[in-house]
Structure 1
């Protein structure tokens, strides 16, 4: 590929930050995947299932306790550019007040809450504490993303992941029974540590606790978005909770294992989205609509290639990560990846809704998809087992993508999105998954198709890069 083209490409802030956010995110999640064989063996299917049920509820409580205030970060970067640090410290203090109220409430009713969410009282209190400090870390990282400060993001994320992993192994080893407490304990300790440090830094920089203008601005954006955030958690996590309730902790552990492997697709999206959203906001403000349309085509094409590769190599990743007790879930993985692909697709038009502050419309679509997922799970899981949850998730995300695409056409005067790149992406991921299931048991044929396809795509990319250099 042309070296001058690559150098010019790297000068783009979108590309540079995207590369480093991807490296950081993959390193962090890579640690998680590398250590998964350790945790699956140390915890077993039941303990692994309990930990994943806990982390599912953690996402729910984080949104409830802090009212989804993390959703305000990117808009505030545009609207309060000169006083961004003031905004940050004030919003963190507002979240602190909500967290204190929730802690008191949870302490009084911990047994009742525990009965509802199927966790004991100790884990309920852990949820409340970790939810708040986890929010501080997420909020701080989101701010770093918005400011393109990828070096600080890398430092926080990588050191957090390493410390968390080492501490988890030590704690699990020292628990003779109920080893899942070791994994949950490591999460709690590390988030409290990092959250405290980041909280102090933010307060010293912003030096503003109470500002009703910032509070009003943030709550107007975040409260309608709570439904969207909670519904998103339901879409991602309700499968595990319902399988745990209907089929038991062991089945939930196997499905959680498959979901962890399938989440590689989510990690790719998460990393790229960290760079895409700030760039999208800036270019929307500058009205660079043609450039946005062009980048969307490349964005979808690149993600589709990544999806194809990940689906075809998923069995080998799964076998490296878990024991034979978990292999039953390997057939779920490509379907889970397809679901995450549609999540990637819907996020593109959904970003326009965030930018235009149409969070009510955003929340309605996610709520419809989440309710669809719950109802279909309730009907299908008892009949067809855990695999039904993968299909219900795909259906829900397709509904969500179509909803957001058509909404995006009506909330802005200029047409930003064209359906053709989305259609090409959908066709490619469907063909990739169908082809995989046809050849999945033939290792040589499967990797032969993968290598030949990548060679052809590499040749096409080289031709495109040469044309772009000439332009």
Structure 2
């Protein structure tokens, strides 16, 4: 009976990962197609205001909620029989904390608005957006934990494309402050789904508020706040330092290269959103052999996707971006290497998080972010903004390495094939350097890329057939 239950869980998780990733690939394609339209109808200043708002919103999401939403996966495992009481308590706690931060912000509103460059409307949207993104995140984490992939597919397919179309519509129809069209358009449907999650979870949890759940969540989340802020710093410090040391044109080119490379991580993170709770359930059953087996498949899936994106990125830049951005095609391959390392660290993070060693998670992220900043200070003035791509890859490699070391200290069981992961990491690095050299040799670039993918598929063919067997069972 136990093995049948595991088989069912494996099958649902495999389907959830595939369906979730497919939905996000479609969403990403739509977003990429909208880039040329957006850059032509939205002034760079308005685009900058929208990007700035989203960045500040993401930081405030962690601060205003004390990052308590990060405890959902572990809490659903711990409080399986009272899951809606747990989620209800978490939502009500976040309503209180967001309200308290809002009260402080309101008292010193002129001060905060002058620092952030916000209007009163943007200040309202900040708290409104944090509240509904928090409930959206909690709701979708619940769905992914329970492999509700059909519901998630519908949500993703409704939100993704329609958000892009709504943003274009609002930008075209607003006479001034067109950045509001971008903000409201891209976020609007998430707010609606977030509000529905808020109401449904509170109703199913009977508006329960228990301190035991809050205490549990904060014991996991509070040490993670430095980790989350360090992660933001690791991803954003390059842009800030390039702007200050070079100029805004170079930071614009770098940010576009980073955005294209982030497509890889965005897709892989959707797989990991399903993998992580599945991994926690297997760890809870002390079934590490199946984690070892399937994690190897994910290494190679990430490697194949990395190769594919590197191979086509010069054509993507030529197709979607103006000539002034063409330099970014020399940056994309090495930043993709960084995204591969960022994806890989998640495997080790999962083990640390399962064992509730969130302080070690924060230490690793702070060290990696600090080293990245130091390397930027040393190399950007000497080698120019291109150096930031390489320092980012080094920073994310150190992040992966530190988390691997900490994981081994916490749990020395044979959970992952670590040598295989490092071989894959070396392969993606060598391939990236080769792709930079072959940017102008399109035939040779595609020949080597396609052959590499076919060789990798042949190498893991047995694992793929095993995965498909589970998926189709």
Report if TM-score (shorter chain) is over 0.5: yes
Q: Which residue of 2 aligns with 1:5?
A: none
Deviations 1:264-283 (A, max 9, x none): 11122212102211211111
Q: Which residue of 1 aligns with 2:152?
A: 153
| 8 Å CA contact 2:297, 2:460 repeated in 1 | no
Q: Which residue of 1 aligns with 2:315?
A: 316
Q: 1:168 deviation in Å?
A: 0.8
Q: Call closer, same or farther: CA 1:155–1:379 in 2, change over 3 Å.
A: same
Q: Call closer, same or farther: CA 1:468–1:173 in 2, change over 3 Å.
A: closer
Matched, 1:373 2:372: yes
Distance in 2 (CA, whole Å) between partners of 1:271 and 1:436 is 26
Q: 1:216 deviation in Å?
A: 0.7
Matched, 1:430 2:422: no
Q: Which residue of 2 aligns with 1:33?
A: 32
| 8 Å CA contact 1:46, 1:249 repeated in 2 | no
Q: Name which of structure 1's ranges 40-49 and 445-454 shifts more when overlaid on structure 2.
A: 40-49
Q: Which residue of 2 aligns with 1:363?
A: 362
Q: Which residue of 2 aligns with 1:340?
A: 339
Matched, 1:65 2:64: yes
Matched, 1:405 2:374: no
Q: Call closer, same or farther: CA 1:392–1:53 in 2, change over 3 Å.
A: farther
Matched, 1:239 2:238: yes
Q: 1:296 deviation in Å?
A: 1.9
Q: Which residue of 2 aligns with 1:394?
A: 393
| 8 Å CA contact 2:46, 2:177 repeated in 1 | yes
Q: Call closer, same or farther: CA 1:241–1:377 in 2, change over 3 Å.
A: same
Q: Which residue of 1 aligns with 2:272?
A: 273
Distance in 1 (CA, whole Å) between partners of 2:114 and 2:339 is 31
Q: 1:381 deviation in Å?
A: 4.0
Q: Which residue of 1 aligns with 2:299?
A: 300
| 8 Å CA contact 2:242, 2:380 repeated in 1 | yes
Q: Which residue of 1 aligns with 2:201?
A: 202
Q: 1:122 deviation in Å?
A: 4.3
| 8 Å CA contact 2:334, 2:433 repeated in 1 | no
Q: Which runs of 5+ in 2 are unaligned?
A: 1-6
Q: 1:263 deviation in Å?
A: 0.9
Q: Which residue of 1 aligns with 2:290?
A: 291
Q: Which residue of 1 aligns with 2:454?
A: 455
| SS in structure 1 of the partner of residue 331 of structure 2 | helix
The within-5 A match list for 1:130-279 is 130-244=129-243, 247=246, 249-279=248-278
Deviations 1:279-327 (A, max 9, x none): 1111111111122112222221221121111111111122222222332
Q: 1:188 deviation in Å?
A: 4.6
The within-5 A match list for 1:116-127 is 116-117=115-116, 119=118, 122-127=121-126
| SS in structure 2 of the partner of residue 161 of structure 1 | helix
Distance in 1 (CA, whole Å) between partners of 2:179 and 2:468 is 54
Q: Which residue of 2 aligns with 1:3?
A: none
| SS in structure 2 of the partner of residue 12 of structure 1 | helix
| 8 Å CA contact 2:15, 2:149 repeated in 1 | no
Q: 1:387 deviation in Å?
A: 2.4
Q: Which residue of 2 aligns with 1:75?
A: 74
| SS in structure 2 of the partner of residue 287 of structure 1 | coil
Q: Call closer, same or farther: CA 1:348–1:16 in 2, change over 3 Å.
A: same
Q: Name which of structure 1's ranges 453-462 and 152-161 shifts more when overlaid on structure 2.
A: 453-462
| 8 Å CA contact 1:126, 1:188 repeated in 2 | no
Q: 1:377 deviation in Å?
A: 3.3
| SS in structure 1 of the partner of residue 413 of structure 2 | coil
| 8 Å CA contact 1:409, 1:417 repeated in 2 | no
Give the aligned CA root-mean-square deviation in angstroms: 2.6
Q: Call closer, same or farther: CA 1:425–1:136 in 2, change over 3 Å.
A: same
Q: Call closer, same or farther: CA 1:444–1:133 in 2, change over 3 Å.
A: same
TM-score (norm 1): 0.91
| 8 Å CA contact 1:22, 1:272 repeated in 2 | yes
| SS in structure 2 of the partner of residue 123 of structure 1 | helix
Q: Name which of structure 1's ranges 118-127 and 282-291 shifts more when overlaid on structure 2.
A: 118-127
| 8 Å CA contact 2:262, 2:339 repeated in 1 | yes
Q: Which runs of 5+ in 1 are unaligned?
A: 1-7
Q: Which residue of 2 aligns with 1:55?
A: 54
Q: Name which of structure 1's ranges 213-222 and 105-114 shifts more when overlaid on structure 2.
A: 105-114
Q: 1:416 deviation in Å?
A: 2.2
Q: Name which of structure 1's ranges 164-173 and 113-122 shifts more when overlaid on structure 2.
A: 113-122
Q: 1:425 deviation in Å?
A: 1.1
Q: Call closer, same or farther: CA 1:376–1:179 in 2, change over 3 Å.
A: farther
Q: Call closer, same or farther: CA 1:161–1:357 in 2, change over 3 Å.
A: same
Deviations 1:25-58 (A, max 9, x none): 2222232222112112222444433332322222
Distance in 2 (CA, whole Å) between partners of 1:46 and 1:319 is 23
| 8 Å CA contact 1:106, 1:128 repeated in 2 | no
| 8 Å CA contact 2:14, 2:467 repeated in 1 | no
| 8 Å CA contact 1:366, 1:400 repeated in 2 | yes
Aligned residue-pair number = 463
| SS in structure 2 of the partner of residue 409 of structure 1 | helix
Distance in 2 (CA, whole Å) between partners of 1:380 and 1:53 is 26
Q: Which residue of 2 aligns with 1:85?
A: 84
Distance in 1 (CA, whole Å) between partners of 2:317 and 2:334 is 14
Deviations 1:146-168 (A, max 9, x none): 11111111222221223321221
| SS in structure 1 of the partner of residue 166 of structure 2 | helix
